[in-house]
Structure 1
Amino acid sequence: MPHSTGALPQASTLWNRNFTLYWLASVQSVFGNSLSTVVTAVLVYGLTGKASSMGVTLALGMLPALLGPFAGVVVDKVPVRSLLIAGDLLRGVLVAALAFMATTGQAELWMLNVVVFMAGLVTAFTAPATQVLLPQLVSEEHLARANGLMTTGNQTAQLLGLFLGAGLVSAFGAGPSLWVDALTFFVMAGLLTLVRLPARVEVPAAESFWTALTAGFRVLREHPGFAMIPVLAFVINVAFAPVEMVLPKHLVTLGLGESLYGVALATVVAGMVAGGLGVTALGQRFKPKLALPLGLMATGAGLMAFGLVKLPAAFFAFAAVIGVGISLTNTSIAYLGQTLIPAEFRGRVFGLINATAQAGMPIALIALGPVADSWGSARLMLLAGLTVIVATAVWWWQDRSSLASDSLSIGSN
C-alpha cells in the first residue's frame, strides 16, 4: 500500500487556518458534551435513585465502541471530514430529541438509554476519525504541541461545562441544558465544512473489508511495544469502570454530598488541563515513552488514594493527580499512534484501541452494578488503583525494550 504522513504541506505553522477552525469546533462541542454529562447523571438519578441504573446507562453508551476495529476500516476508506460532519449532525439530532423529551416532561429511562446508545454508536466511528484528522492539520514538528493544545482546550471546555452544568440544570432545568449541547454539535458540523484536508491516501480498489481489517492488525504487530497498548487499555478501563459509578456514593461517605459530583469530575479535568499545558510547553521535547508509564502510575496511585483518604481536601488533590495522569497517558498514546503508524492504517489502529479500551467496561459495570450499592466505595477504588499499577508494571517490564526501539523510528513514517 502507498505510504504517506497525511500532513498538510502548507501547514508550516501550528495555528494555521485549518487547525484553528478544528480546535474551535472541538472546544465548543466538548463544552456542550460536559453539560450533558451532568444532565444525564441528574436525569438517571432523578428517575431511579440508584447507582446501578447509572451503571447500565454508562454501559449502553460504551457498548458500541466494541465496533471500533470495523469503524476504523470505514475511517480509512471514506473522507474523514464528511464522516465527522455526518456524525455531528446525527448526534445533534439525538440530543435535540432528548432535550425535547426533557423539556416536555416526557423523558423516561428507556428513552434516555436509547439516545445514549445511539450516540455511542456514532461516536464509535467519529472517535478514530478525530485521531486520524490531527496529523492532517499540522506538520509533524508541531504534532506534540497540537495534541497538547487539543487536550488543554477540550478539557478546559469540559471543566467549564461541569462547573456550569449543575448551575444551569438548577436554574433552567435539564431540557435547556441539553438544547445547548445539541446546538454545539450543529456548530461543529458547520465549522468542519470550512476545514480543508489533503487528498486521502489511496487504498487498493480490490481490497476487501476483511483484508483491510486484518491489514490493520498486521501493521500494529510490526510495533510490538505499541501493539500491547490495546491490551493495557482493556485492563485499565475495566479497573476504571466502577469508579464513576460509585463516585456520588463515595462523596457522601466523605460528608460532601452527591451534589458535588460535577465538582469532583471538574477537578479531575483541571488536572488534565494542567497535563495538556505541560505537553504543549514541552513541544518536541515531549517523550511519550516516558510520559506513558508515568501517567499510568500517577493515575493508579490517585485511585488508591481515593479509597484511603478521609479528608475532602486530600480527595480533591488526588483527583487532580488522576487528571494529570490521564492527560499524559492519552496524549502519549495518541502521539505514538500518529507518528508510528502509517497514515492509511491509523483509523483501524485507533479503532482497535478504542474498542479494546471500552470492551471490558460495560461488562464490569453490569457485573458490579448489583453490588455497587452494598460494597464499600473505598474498597472498589483501592482495587481499581492497584489493578492499574500492576497492569502498568507488567506492560512496562515486558515491552520496555520494544517500545524504546519503536520510539527511535518516530519521524521516519
Structure 2
Amino acid sequence: MGRNGGTVTAPAAGTASRYPLYLVSYFLMAIAASMAGVAMSFGVLAKTGSTALLAINLALYFLPALLSPVSGAAVDRYGTRPVLAASIAARVVLLAAFAATVAWWTAPASVAVLMTITLLVGILKLPTSPAMRKVFTRTLPADRYVKGNAHLSIAGQSGAALSFLLVGAAIDRFDAPMVLATAAGVFALVGVLTWPLAHATRSPNSAATTRRLAVDTAGFVALKTSPVLLASTAMTLATVIAFTPTEAVLPGQMQDQGHGASGFTHFLLAYSLGVLAGGVLIGRLDDPRHFRRLVPAAATVLVLAVAGLGLSAGIAVLLALGLIIGACCAMLESVAMARIHQHADEAVQGRVFAALHGTESVVRAGVLGLIAAATALGVGRLLWLAAAVPVLVLTAAAVARPGRDRVPEGEPVEAS
C-alpha cells in the first residue's frame, strides 16, 4: 500500500532482477521513437517539399493524445502484456508501411497514405507509455521509485541523444525508408525484450473490467482529487513548459545571434547531458531528507535558467543554461513520477499515466500555439520571461503544498 492510502501491489519476488532488462528496453524504445520521428518528417519533406504538409503530418501525430483516456482504460482493463505487445507490433507494421510508401512514391495518392499511417501511429502508440509505467510499478519496490525514475531519465535521454546524433547522417547516407525500416526492427526487438518483464494483469476493479472500452476519465479525476498526484502533475507540467519554447523559439534566436543550426543542436546536446547529470544526482541522493532541500532548489534554478535564455547572446552561456535546464527538469520529473507510482492505485495506474501524458501533450500544444501568436506580435525575447512565470507558479505550488491524500488509511487513491 502506498502512503496516504494509495494501494500499490508489491512486486513479486525476483522481479527486481528484471529491472536491467526493463532499462535496456526503455533505452532502445527511446532510440527507435526518436529515429522514427525524424525519419518520418524527412520522408514527408523529401517527397513533397512542403513545409505545410510536414506541419499537418506532425499535427496528425500529436492530435491522438486527446484519446489518452481510452488508451489508459485499455491498459487497466486488458493488462499490460497484451496491450503493450499489440501497441509495439502495430508500430512495427506501420513504420514498415510508411517506409514502403516513401520508397515507392506515387503522388498524390501517397500523401494521403502517409497521413493516414501517421494518424494510426499516433493512436496506436498511446498505450505504450502508460503500460511501461505500470510495468515499472511491478518491477521495483516503492522505496526505489525515485532512483528508478532517475535511471529512466538517463536511459530515455541517452537513447534520444544517441539517435539524434546518428539519424541525420544515416538519412543522408541511406535515405529515410532505410532508417524507418531500422526503427521498425528496433521496435520489434523491444517487443521481444518486454515480453518476459513483470507485467500487471487485468485490473480487478469492476469499473475497469465490466464496462466496454470507452473514454474513461478516472485517470483525470484521480489526478485532480489526490493532492499528491495534483502536486506531482504540476511539477511535471512545469518541466514541459520550461523545455517547449526551446523547440520553437531557440532555433530562430540562434540564427539571429549568428550561432546557426549547429548552435541549436549543441544546445540540445547540452540539455541531454544535463538530464543525464540530474538523473545521476537525484539517483545518488535517494533520500526524502534530500528531496525537501533539493527539489525547491532545482525549481528555483530552473525558473532563473529559463528566464536567462532571453537575456544572453553568448553561445557558452546558452549552452550552460541548456545543461542547467536539463539537470533541473530531470530532478523534478524523477521525484514527481516516483510520487505518482507510489500513490496511484495500481487498478487505475494505466488511466492515470495516460491522463498525465494527454495533459502534457495538450499543454505542449497550447504553449506552441501561444508562442506562434506571440511571435507574430513581435514579442521577441520576452517570451522566455513569459515562460518562466508559469514554471514559477507551478513549481511553487507543487513545492509549497506537496499534499496529503484525504483518504482514510486502507482505501485506494482512485476515482473511477
TM-score range, shorter chain: 0.7 to 0.9
Distance 2:56 2:77 in 1: 33
What one-letter code is carried by the residue in structure 2 that aligns with 1:283? D
- Distance change >3 Å, CA 49–CA 204, structure 1 → 2: closer
Superposed displacement of residue 273, structure 1 = 1.4
Superposed displacement of residue 112, structure 1 = 5.0
Which of 351, 358, 363 is matched with 1:360 structurally? 363
- Counterpart of 1:248? 251
- Counterpart of 1:137? 139
Which of 346, 352, 360 is matched with 1:349 structurally? 352
What one-letter code is carried by the residue in structure 1 that aligns with 2:61? G
- Distance change >3 Å, CA 39–CA 379, structure 1 → 2: farther
- 1:74-94: per-residue Cα shift (whole Å, max 9, x none)? 221111011111111111222
- 1:22-69: per-residue Cα shift (whole Å, max 9, x none)? 22222112112222344355456665575x776554443322222223
Work out the number of aligned pairs and report it.
Answer: 402
Alignment of 1:12-411 (within 5 A): 14=16, 16=17, 18-40=18-40, 42-43=42-43, 56-104=56-104, 113-197=115-199, 199-204=201-206, 207-208=210-211, 213=216, 215-216=218-219, 219-221=222-224, 223-230=226-233, 237=240, 241-259=244-262, 261-284=264-287, 292-366=295-369, 368-369=371-372, 372=375, 375=378, 378-397=381-400, 399-400=401-402, 402=403
- Distance change >3 Å, CA 34–CA 122, structure 1 → 2: same
- 1:215-270: per-residue Cα shift (whole Å, max 9, x none)? 54554455324225446656764675443133332221232222554443232222
- Distance change >3 Å, CA 366–CA 219, structure 1 → 2: closer
SS, match of residue 283 in structure 1: coil
Superposed displacement of residue 371, structure 1 = 6.6
Identity of aligned residues (%): 22
SS, match of residue 308 in structure 1: coil
Note if contact 1:59-1:362 (Cα within 8 Å) is conserved in structure 2: no
- Distance change >3 Å, CA 198–CA 329, structure 1 → 2: same
Superposed displacement of residue 187, structure 1 = 0.8
What one-letter code is carried by the residue in structure 2 that aligns with 1:248? P
Note if contact 2:302-2:329 (Cα within 8 Å) is conserved in structure 1: yes
- 1:82-116: per-residue Cα shift (whole Å, max 9, x none)? 11111111112222222233444568766555444
- 1:152-203: per-residue Cα shift (whole Å, max 9, x none)? 1221121111111222223222222222211111111111223243655522
SS, match of residue 249 in structure 2: helix
Note if contact 2:303-2:388 (Cα within 8 Å) is conserved in structure 1: yes
Structure 1 stretch 148-157 or stretch 79-88: which is displaced more? 148-157
Which of 5, 8, 27 is matched with 1:5 structurally? 8
**What is the TM-score when the length of structure 2 is the normalising length?**
0.81
Structure 1 stretch 140-149 or stretch 281-290: which is displaced more? 281-290
Note if contact 1:275-1:323 (Cα within 8 Å) is conserved in structure 2: yes
- Distance change >3 Å, CA 247–CA 110, structure 1 → 2: farther
Distance 1:55 1:241 in 2: 16
Distance 2:213 2:45 in 1: 43
What one-letter code is carried by the residue in structure 2 that aligns with 1:180? T
Note if contact 1:6-1:198 (Cα within 8 Å) is conserved in structure 2: no
User: Structure 1 regions of 5+ residues with no counterpart?
Assistant: none
